[in-house]
């Protein structure tokens, strides 16, 4: 668990947004703003944050669906933004994604077998017969039956569709899987089945996961380490137990306090403070959490804090911890 | 505490090309004044159709309320004519929908949308209605109501829109508010704020709430009584404390075990318990108990005969053969 598989070095992704209808000045939305992160081979890194915090943008950058505005991402030591042609195709074999919505991410006119087998076809891995055998094997592995290969997506339930999405992602035996909210669209009883399947597959293929979710209970269940994102930045990064037992950033504490517990006797005190939503286009130099922070002081309004090492693989971006 | 709403033997069916679907199947349910009733279940279990049936908003055709009665303050809502129902809907019973993005009119200012209801139901003039709208908006925690009423929905965040929806639902002082997945589309921190708000308003105004959700965590936080639905039927009904401490129905037990808990063990070998299989299609439900294929305790009788929702303990009802024969 010590080899660095993905090394994200100071990446930024800005999107241009026009400030007004006719206005000339352009404001940029800092979807991902100076993120540095190492992902170790074989681990599950959980990425949590609320909608709009940049989790999915970061995922798109890692699988190279988008190129960063600044910074670079090294995969096994190689800068992925420089890849092209054959090398890029080879990279795509090693890195796969599982999408959130199993209804929207499958082509409705393709059979399950053809969707699952397409990566093999594109990469010329097997001949026709070999492909069909491999598709059957993988379908079996993810809990589908090979008789279902000629069915279309609408004939499957949500959980089964997500299994198709997972089968398609693992068929090329990738090293890294980015799972972008893989269970958010599923019912609770199905969610548990998919989470268990992901764990089994990780053992079987020694997969590395980047597991993106807004659900802190789910992230806690699957992750070895967890990164908390807020307005394009990682504000806290720590081992699973450490983060839940000793959260340092006020935003992490707020998130944890907001998770409903399944214990009606313990109606808890939420830490959430009301505040106007600040947008990612905020040009000021203050800490993005400043308007909501209960622990803010003078320097927080002038200076954005960077990640500081608090020891024991625990990092936090907060002046109060500096 | 008197009984506010009593649903008896309510069935709502939909006619489809593949046959009749029993979306809500012989539901009995009651809610007291000032109570919060949580209705929990997975997608397709009939929670939303139940709410729409109470509001008499079932699209017909294909849907039809085929039997039962819904007594609201002694009046059967299913028997009154549609003009009378219109006077109750939005005034005495109001509804908050799941999607704050799609349930507001995008081309009307927020103020106009709220005052429309106030003018209709309370007969106030434009000026008074605006004042009332602003009062409601500040009640739901909007920072500056006088600017918000001039805004269009797209100028607001999801949490703000949901507050507007709640303000609309509450502006005529309803006796009952139906909230259909009011926090599902929202982030956890916003969800916590909205749940807190619903709880606070309930205390201040005395409105009863039917809270429909798929999230047992939300139920634990906000409800006082809970009805668990499965394939259109209520399979368990209990107080929230009893449901979480002594769940009876195998489906309820399975649901509770399949949720990752924030304080449970974790790690590589921490597997979740699962309910095997999936919810059966409403087009072809098995004979007997509809949970039989997924249940670890299936007995001969479960395949032959449908259980009834029976009182097992005071105010704890369960729809399962494990708890007493006929």
Interchain contact B263–A (C-beta under 8 A):
yes
Q: How far is B287 from chain A (nearest CA, A)?
A: 22
pLDDT mean across residues, chain A: 87
Instruction: Give the confidence band of A281 by pLDDT, cuts at 50, 70, 90.
Output: very low
Q: How far is A77 from chain B (nearest CA, A)?
A: 27
Q: How far is B88 from chain A (nearest CA, A)?
A: 33
ipTM score: 0.79
- Over residues B78-124, the pLDDT tens digits come to 999 999 999 999 899 999 987 777 889 999 999 999 999 999 999 99
Q: How far is A253 from chain B (nearest CA, A)?
A: 11
- Closest-CA residue of B relative to A197 is B271
- Over residues A158-210, the pLDDT tens digits come to 889 999 999 999 999 999 999 999 988 888 888 898 999 999 999 999 999 99
Q: Does residue A274 carry a pLDDT above 60?
A: no
Chain A residues near residue B185 by CB distance under 8 angstroms = none
* pLDDT, position B282: 86
* pLDDT, position A279: 47
- Over residues A83-120, the pLDDT tens digits come to 989 999 999 999 999 988 888 889 999 999 999 999 99
Interchain contact B256–A (C-beta under 8 A):
yes
Chain B residues near residue A235 by CB distance under 8 angstroms = none
* pLDDT, position A24: 58
Q: How far is B267 from chain A (nearest CA, A)?
A: 7
* pLDDT, position B326: 46
Q: Which of A157, A203, A262 is facing B261, going by the closest CB pair?
A: A262
Q: Does residue A277 carry a pLDDT above 80?
A: no
* pLDDT, position A267: 57
Chain A residues near residue B191 by CB distance under 8 angstroms = 258, 260
Check CB contact under 8 Å for A272 and B193.
yes
Q: What average pLDDT does this structure show over A246-261?
A: 89
Three-state SS sequence of chain A: CCCEEEEEEEEEEEEEEECCCCCCCEEEEEEEEEEEEEEECCCEEEEECCCCCCHHHHHHHHCCCCCCCEEEEEECCEEHHHCCHHHHHHHHHHEEEECCCCCCCCCCCCCHHHHHHHHHHHCCCCCHHHHHHHHHHHHHHCCCCHHHHHCCHHHCCHHHHHHHHHHHHHCCCCCEEEEECCCCCCCHHHHHHHHHHHHHHHHHHCCEEEEEECCHHHHHHHCCEEEEEECCEEEEEEEHHHHHHCCCCHHHHHHHHHCCCCCCCCCCCCCCCCCCCCCCCCCCCCCCCHHHCCCCCHHHHHCCCCCEECCCCCEECCHHHC
- Over residues B278-325, the pLDDT tens digits come to 888 888 888 999 999 899 999 999 999 999 998 888 889 999 999 875
- Tokens 């001969």, located at residue: B300
Strand (E) or helix (H) holding B31: strand B19-32
Check CB contact under 8 Å for A192 and B193.
no
Check CB contact under 8 Å for A221 and B216.
no
Determine contact, residues A211/A244, Cβ cutoff 8 Å. Answer: no
Q: Name the CA radius of gyration of chain B, rounded.
A: 21
Q: Which of A241, A264, A270 is facing B192, going by the closest CB pair?
A: A270
Mutate to test the interface with B, among A43, A187, A204 (most CBs of B within 10 A): A187
- Closest-CA residue of B relative to A193 is B274
Distance from C-alpha of A58 to C-alpha of A211, rounded to nearest angstrom: 12
Instruction: Give the confidence band of A18 by pLDDT, cuts at 50, 70, 90.
Output: low
Check CB contact under 8 Å for B272 and A259.
no
* pLDDT, position A288: 83
Provide, rounded to the nearest whole percent, the portion of chain B with pLDDT above 70: 97
- Over residues A144-161, the pLDDT tens digits come to 988 899 999 988 888 899
pLDDT tens per residue across all 326 residues of chain B: 688 999 999 999 999 888 898 999 999 999 998 899 999 998 889 999 999 999 999 988 888 999 999 999 889 999 999 999 999 998 999 999 877 778 899 999 999 999 999 999 999 999 999 999 998 888 888 878 888 899 999 888 888 888 898 889 888 889 999 999 888 877 888 888 888 888 888 888 889 999 999 889 899 989 999 999 999 999 999 999 999 999 999 999 999 988 887 766 666 677 888 888 888 888 888 899 999 989 999 999 999 999 999 888 888 999 999 987 54
Q: Does residue A76 carry a pLDDT above 50?
A: yes
Interchain contact B213–A (C-beta under 8 A):
no
* pLDDT, position B78: 93
Q: Which of B143, B191, B254 is facing A189, going by the closest CB pair?
A: B254
Q: Does residue A224 carry a pLDDT above 80?
A: yes
Looking at per-residue pLDDT, the higher value among A266 and B31 belongs to B31
In 3-state terms, what secondary structure has residue B58? coil
Chain B residues near residue A244 by CB distance under 8 angstroms = 262
């Amino acid at each position: 668990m010590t080899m660095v598989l993905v090394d994200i070095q100071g990446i930024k992704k800005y999107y241009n947004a026009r400030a007004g209808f006719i206005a000339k000045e352009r404001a940029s939305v800092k979807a991902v703003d100076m993120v540095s992160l190492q992902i170790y081979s074989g681990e599950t890194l959980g990425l949590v944050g609320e909608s709009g915090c940049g989790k999915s943008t970061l995922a798109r950058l890692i699988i190279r669906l988008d190129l960063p505005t600044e910074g670079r991402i090294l995969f096994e030591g190689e800068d992925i933004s420089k890849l092209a042609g054959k090398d890029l195709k080879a990279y795509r074999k090693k890195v796969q994604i599982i999408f959130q919505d199993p209804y929207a991410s499958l082509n409705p006119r393709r059979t399950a077998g053809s969707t699952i087998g397409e990566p093999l076809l594109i990469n010329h891995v097997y001949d026709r017969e070999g492909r069909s055998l491999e598709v059957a094997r993988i379908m079996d592995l993810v809990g589908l039956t090979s008789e279902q290969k000629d069915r279309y997506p609408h004939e499957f339930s949500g959980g089964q569709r997500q299994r198709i999405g997972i089968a398609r992602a693992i068929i090329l035996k990738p090293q890294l899987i980015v799972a972008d909210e893989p269970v958010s669209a599923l019912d609770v009883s199905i969610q548990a089945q998919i989470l268990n399947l992901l764990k089994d597959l990780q053992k079987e293929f020694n997969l590395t996961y980047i597991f993106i979710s807004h659900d802190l209970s789910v992230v806690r269940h699957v992750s070895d380490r967890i990164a908390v994102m807020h307005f394009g930045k990682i504000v806290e990064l720590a081992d699973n137990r450490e983060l839940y037992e000793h959260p340092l950033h006020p935003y992490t504490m707020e998130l944890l306090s907001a998770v409903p517990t399944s214990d009606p006797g313990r109606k808890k005190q939420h830490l959430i403070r009301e505040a106007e939503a600040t947008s990612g286009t905020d040009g000021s130099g203050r800490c993005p959490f400043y308007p909501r922070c209960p622990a803010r002081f003078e320097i927080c309004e002038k200076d954005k804090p960077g990640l500081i090492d608090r020891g024991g693989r625990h990092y936090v971006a907060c002046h109060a911890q500096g | 505490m008197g009984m506010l709403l009593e649903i008896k033997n309510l069935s709502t069916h939909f006619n489809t090309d593949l046959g009749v679907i029993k979306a809500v199947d012989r539901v009995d349910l009651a809610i007291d004044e000032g109570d919060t009733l949580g209705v929990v279940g997975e997608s397709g279990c009939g929670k939303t159709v139940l709410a729409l049936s109470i509001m008499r908003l079932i699209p017909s055709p294909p849907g039809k309320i085929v039997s039962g009665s819904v007594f609201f303050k002694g009046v059967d809502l299913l028997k009154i004519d549609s003009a009378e129902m219109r006077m109750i809907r939005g005034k005495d019973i109001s509804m908050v929908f799941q999607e704050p993005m799609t349930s507001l009119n995008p081309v009307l200012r927020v103020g106009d949308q709220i005052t429309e209801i106030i003018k209709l139901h309370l007969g106030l003039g434009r000026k008074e209605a605006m004042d009332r709208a602003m009062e409601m908006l500040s009640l739901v925690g909007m920072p500056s109501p006088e600017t918000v009423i001039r805004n269009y929905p797209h100028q607001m965040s999801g949490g703000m829109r949901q507050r507007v929806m709640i303000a609309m639902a509450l502006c005529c002082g309803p006796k009952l508010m139906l909230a259909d997945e009011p926090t599902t589309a929202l982030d956890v921190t916003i969800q916590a704020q909205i749940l807190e708000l619903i709880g606070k308003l309930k205390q201040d105004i005395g409105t009863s709430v039917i809270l429909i959700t798929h999230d047992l965590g939300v139920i634990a936080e906000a409800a006082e009584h809970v009805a668990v639905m499965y394939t259109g039927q209520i399979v368990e009904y209990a107080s929230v404390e009893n449901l979480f401490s002594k769940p009876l129905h195998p489906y309820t037990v399975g649901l509770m075990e399949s949720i990752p808990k924030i304080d449970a063990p974790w790690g590589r070998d921490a597997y979740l318990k699962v309910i095997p299989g999936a919810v059966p299609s409403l087009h072809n439900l098995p004979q007997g108990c509809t949970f039989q294929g997924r249940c670890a305790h299936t007995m001969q009788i479960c395949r032959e005969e449908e259980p009834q929702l029976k009182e097992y303990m005071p105010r704890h009802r369960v729809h399962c053969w494990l708890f007493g024969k006929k």
